[in-house]
Amino acid sequence: MDTLALLLSTPVPPPFIYLHHPHCPTSSLDFPDVSVKVDGVECHTPKLLLSAIISRLEGKDGGLVDTLDTFIRRLRVYSGGDGKSKAKGKGKEREKDGVVSIVITKAERLPRVLGSGWAVMTRLAELVSCT
């Protein structure tokens, strides 16, 4: 976990980090400086997964996110990729520097949840233009 903390604390963290430890349940791990944490089992459809990420970023029920385009657009607004940052979470203003970290536990389920669109998750930084 020290390596993860170091990676996330750099001025420009890597756009995608995949962690898998077969002998340690991810639910027991403490992730440093995480914007959102969602469960791949709980969010078993694309709409549920994308909506859960946006809702937790906004700190309120953001409604359903129907498409990846809508998800990218809303994530871009949140992260400041469009020049305007709406960095709110849990009803409190937070300092944001354009970095949004999303942890998806049980991420090995993403191909089943997102189908052919699962690889988009590895390109979020590029699509949102955060870096």
pLDDT in tens, 33-79: 778 888 888 888 989 999 999 998 888 777 788 888 999 998 888 77
Question: Which range of residues forms the domain containing residue 91?
Answer: 2-128
Which helix (H) or strand (E) segment holds residue 17: the answer is none
The pTM for the full model equals 0.76
Rounded Cα–Cα distance for residues 129 and 30 (Å): 27
- 121 burial (CB, 10 Å; 0-12 / 13-18 / 19+) is buried
**Each residue's pLDDT tens digit, 90-105:** 433 443 456 788 888 8
- Block residue for tokens 């996110």: 65
Number of domains the chain contains: 1
- In one letter, which amino acid is 8? L
